[in-house]
């Protein structure tokens, strides 16, 4: 399936159910992904999945929220049990979103997944991965056999799919027109790090400087 490119954030389309007729995309996508380098997901790398249940009219459970269920190269969850996702609040004006981290196995070619609040399901969705250039002409059996070997290691399943860290943000990144929108929204996408491109500690994903960039005197030879 194709995915609409939104820079480092991309929407994931749901799998068509096979019925005829035109297929129209929703105005608001329920699923997005984000990689560390902004490129499409690749086998052997990490990514974060974001789920907005309001876009698919799925109401989160009051106790545990939303659970993720899916697998690599097939829709069966490794371990067999849906994983609770991490809830991210976005202020009073917007409903919360839910996140989960994925460490893509080297032999994974896709991720097929769904979401549930315990009764109804939303999905399945399919996210295709880029594979190493040397493996482009390998048969599917090569990837499935390699994937089975990877996930057969103790703890491999828990390391591959796990809830995102629940970081409490004590400050909001205020934008110029925030007050015009009612003052009830704030950006929670805050990443601390060195923002000096010339520094060897430069963090390309940082959104505010945490003072970790070394001073010139720190790098001088004594």
State the residue range of the domain holding 90: 5-163
pLDDT digits (tens, 9 = 90+) for 158-200: 888 877 655 444 444 444 443 334 444 444 455 677 877 777 7
Q: What local confidence, expressed as pLDDT, does residue 180 receive?
A: 36
Instruction: Report the pLDDT value the prediction gives residue 173, as an integer from 0 to 100.
Output: 46
Other Cβ atoms less than 10 A from the Cβ of 28: the count is: 10
Question: Comparing C-alpha atoms, which of 129, 101, 125 is closest to residue 113?
Answer: 125
Residue 182 covered by a domain: no
Integer CA distances (angstroms), 23 to 53, 113, 165, in order: 20, 20, 36
> What is the biggest distance separating any 2 CA atoms in the chain, rounded to whole angstroms?
73
Is 101 among the domain residues?
A: yes
Q: What is the pLDDT of residue 184?
A: 46
Cα–Cα distances in Å, from 162 out to 25, 88, 100, 103? 29, 15, 6, 9
Nearest residue to 60 (alpha-carbon basis) of 32, 99, 91? 99
Q: Tokens in use for 52?
A: 């907005």
- pLDDT (0 to 100) of residue 170: 42
Residue of 65, 62, 112 whose CA lies nearest to 84? 65
In 3D space, the residue among 218, 45, 199, 221 whose CA is nearest the CA of residue 130 turns out to be: 45
Residue 219 counted as domain residue: no
User: pLDDT at position 165, please?
Assistant: 59
What is the total residue count of the chain?
Answer: 222
Q: Please report whether residue 180 resides in a domain.
A: no
Residue 183 lies in a domain: no
Euclidean distance between CA atoms 14 and 123, whole angstroms: 6
Asked, for residue 174, whether it belongs to a domain, the answer is no
Is 143 a domain residue?
yes
Q: What distance in Å separates the CA atoms of residue 214 and residue 110, rounded to the nearest whole number?
A: 41
pTM of the model: 0.61
Is the pLDDT at 114 greater than 80? The verdict is yes
Confidence of residue 98 (pLDDT cuts 50, 70, 90): very high
pLDDT at 123: 85
Tens-place pLDDT, residues 145-166:
999 999 888 888 888 887 765 5
Return the pLDDT at 189.
53
C-beta neighbour count of 89 within 10 angstroms? 13
The model's pLDDT over 16-35, given as tens digits with 9 standing for 90+, comes to: 454 444 544 445 678 888 88
Q: Please, which residues have CB within 8 angstroms of residue 55's CB and are 6 or more apart in sequence? A: 26, 28, 29, 30
Task: Look at residue 79 in the predicted model and tell me its pLDDT.
Answer: 65
Whole-number percent of the chain with pLDDT over 70: 67
- The count of domains in the chain is 1
pLDDT given at position 174: 46
Residue 191 located in a structural domain: no
């Amino acid at each position: 399936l194709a995915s609409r490119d939104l820079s480092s954030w991309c929407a994931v389309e749901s799998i068509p159910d096979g019925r005829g007729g035109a297929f129209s995309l929703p105005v608001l996508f329920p699923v997005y992904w984000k990689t560390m380098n902004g490129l499409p997901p690749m086998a052997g790398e990490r990514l974060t999945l974001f789920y907005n249940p309001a876009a698919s009219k799925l109401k989160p459970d009051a106790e545990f929220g939303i659970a993720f269920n899916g697998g690599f190269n097939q829709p069966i969850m490794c371990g067999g049990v849906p994983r609770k996702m991490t809830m991210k609040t976005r202020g009073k004006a917007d409903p919360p979103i839910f996140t989960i981290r994925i460490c893509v196995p080297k032999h994974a070619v896709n991720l097929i997944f769904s979401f549930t609040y315990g009764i109804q399901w939303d999905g399945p969705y399919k996210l295709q991965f880029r594979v190493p250039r040397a493996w482009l002409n390998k048969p599917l059996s090569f990837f499935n056999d390699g994937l089975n070997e990877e996930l057969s290691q103790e703890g491999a399943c828990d390391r591959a799919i796990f809830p995102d860290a629940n970081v409490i943000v004590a400050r909001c990144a205020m934008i110029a027109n925030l007050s015009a929108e009612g003052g009830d929204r704030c950006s929670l996408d805050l990443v601390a790090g060195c923002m000096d491109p010339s520094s060897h500690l430069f963090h390309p994903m940082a959104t505010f400087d945490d003072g970790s960039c070394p001073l010139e005197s720190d790098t001088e030879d004594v």
